[in-house]
Structure 1
Amino acid sequence: MIRLKTTEQIAVIREACHLTARLMNQLPSFIAPGMSTFDIDQFCYDFMVRHKVKPAFLDYEGFPATACISINEEVIHGIPSKQRIIKEGDLIDVDLGINMNGHFSDMARTFIVGTTNPDWEKLCSVTQRCLSLGIEAAGKKGARIQDISAAVYKLANSFGYGVVRDYCGHGVGLAVHEEPSIPNYVSAYMPNPRIREGMVLAIEPMINLGTKSTKTMENGWTVVTSDGKPSAHFEDTIALTKDGLEILTVEA
């Protein structure tokens, strides 16, 4: 069941999203070669504590950290570790959310550490563009969920990239994950509800340089590309209000 949010509920979700964006915007100047992914996670945790909000992901279905931090071939759900050291040229996907009195945000960005392979840089640029096109499609009159999917897939596929099929975007706001699912590819076999006022959606292209195929590591969480090539991941939370589409994960 898709949960439509009231204006009052969206106001609190918006506040959580604005704070999430403020945190995310601080990360590029913090992340540096030589630090661990645990250091990034601690930075995010401390930020939330200072602002008197809770990490949405910490202990969610047993996840042991504030942020999912995935490097290079890791697509999503990387577990922060003191042993995982960041190097020049790495792609660092930081995916996190805030729980503000039972109202949830969700946001992800893939950061490039220093200078990287031009092909990897292009992958990040195209994936970010996929997100923009998906959001644009969601805001069109009469749009349906798979209009988002089609916009993301068309661009990524035109570059020969692998579009992840095992994971997708989703509703969000009163829980970490809600209906509807928002795949990054089109299928006649999946639901395709119309986008309506009151929907809050997390749109998140996950695009691989090589194959679309993924596998889960032994820790039961971290998803990696099957061919070991890098992946990029960008995500924003949006809302459909009486005034139209609004990107919530922006810094106020």
Structure 2
Amino acid sequence: MIRLKNEDEINGIRKSCHLLAAMFKEVLPQVKAGMSTKQVDDLCKNFIIGHGGTPAWYSEDFPGAACISVNEEVIHGIPSTKKIIHDGDIVCLDVGIDLDGYISDSTHSVLVGNVPEKVRKLDEVTLEALQAGIVACRTGNRIKDISRAVYEVAAKHGYGVVYDYCGHGVGLDVHEDPSIPNVPDWGGANPRIQPGMVLAIEPMINLGTADVKTAKDGWTVITCDGLPSAHEEHTVAVFEDHTEILTKL
């Protein structure tokens, strides 16, 4: 069931999203080669808790405040003291905040040091795909208009668009209906976009194959060919005459 939010609920979600954007502004410049992903997670956790929030992924039993996915890791990378960030890595931070019961969700990729040009281009295109998806997210369109917009941007570059995982409704729970696939021929419902929807749009784009698998830890999703992946995400709220990017930095 799709939960349309009222003005008070959107205001609460907006506050959570603005806090998340502030966290990213503080944390992203600190992600450097030589750090462990656990150190990055601690930065996120300390900011969130220090500002009166709770890491949203704790309610999902995820072992971290942030999903930190490096290179071939697509999503759900578990923070670890043993996982060290190196020069040339692409590091994707997927973070959510529960602030007084209102949930935000956003992802940003950090290009650490001398990242290969092909990986920089991959992230640029992923950002372009995200923006195209947001433009297509407007009252009167359908969810798969978002999917089509994301897919067309990525596919013209020959990238693999992840189809096993997708965006989703958000705001009162971490994951809500509707699902928002990044490929238009994905099965499932295709509801009309309505005012009051709050959606997490999140392209996951791979340098090579679109196929992914889950690592032995039971959480981390990796590309089947071992090539890098990029992930970018915003939470948006839909109104009658516009769509607001709530997590905009």
**TM-score, scaled to structure 1:** 0.97
Aligned to 1:226: 224
Question: Quick one: which of 174, 178, 185 aligns to 1:176?
Answer: 174
Task: Tell whether 2:145 aligns with 1:133.
Answer: no
Task: Tell whether 2:211 aligns with 1:200.
Answer: no
Aligned to 2:18: 18
Task: Tell whether 2:87 aligns with 1:114.
Answer: no
Q: Show structure 1 runs of 4+ deviating over 6 A.
A: none
SS for the counterpart of 2:57 is coil
Instruction: Indicate how the Cα distance of structure 1 residues 58 and 188 shifts in structure 2: closer, same or farther if over 3 A, else same.
Output: closer
1:164 is displaced (CA, Å) by: 0.3
Aligned length: 249
Within 5 A, what are the aligned runs for 1:53-202? 53-60=53-60, 62-139=61-138, 141-187=139-185, 189-202=187-200
1:28 is displaced (CA, Å) by: 2.8
Indicate the percent of aligned positions where both proteins have the same amino acid. Answer: 52
Please say if residues 194 and 240 of structure 2, whose CA atoms lie closer than 8 Å, have aligned partners that are also in contact: no
CA–CA separation in structure 2 for the residues paired with 1:59 and 1:37:
20
* Gap regions ≥5 residues in structure 1: none
CA–CA separation in structure 1 for the residues paired with 2:145 and 2:52:
37
Please say if residues 22 and 250 of structure 1, whose CA atoms lie closer than 8 Å, have aligned partners that are also in contact: no
1:59 is displaced (CA, Å) by: 4.4
Once superposed, what is the RMSD of the aligned Cα atoms? 1.0
CA–CA separation in structure 1 for the residues paired with 2:182 and 2:29:
30
1:188 is displaced (CA, Å) by: 6.8
**TM-score, scaled to structure 2:** 0.98
1:49 is displaced (CA, Å) by: 1.3
CA–CA separation in structure 2 for the residues paired with 1:203 and 1:133:
10
